[in-house]
Amino acid sequence: MKVSRFDIIKKLIRKEYKNKRPTAIEMLEVIRKYDLQKYRSDGKKRSREVMTKAIAKAVKSLQ
């Protein structure tokens, strides 16, 4: 099953902040909390396996 990282992030933000419109800083907090950033701290792209595990963990927290 193909899942979009962006859609997962939107759902997590909606879960966290309900109907309040979150700021960019709040969105980044959610992305960091669930380890969904696309690039590592040194600027290199994260591997597909690592991203898949992080997305699976985030999807599990939504259910």
- Per DSSP, the three-state class of 46 is coil
pLDDT, tens digit, 9 for 90 and up, residues 28-62: 999 999 999 999 999 999 999 999 999 999 999 99
* Positive or negative: CA dihedral 35, 46, 44, 37: negative
Q: Please say whether the beta carbons of 5 and 36 come within 8 A.
A: yes
**Biggest alpha carbon distance in the chain?**
35
pLDDT of 1 > 90? The answer is: no
Q: Please say whether the beta carbons of 59 and 5 come within 8 A.
A: no
- Per DSSP, the three-state class of 39 is strand
Tokens matching residue 11: 């759902």
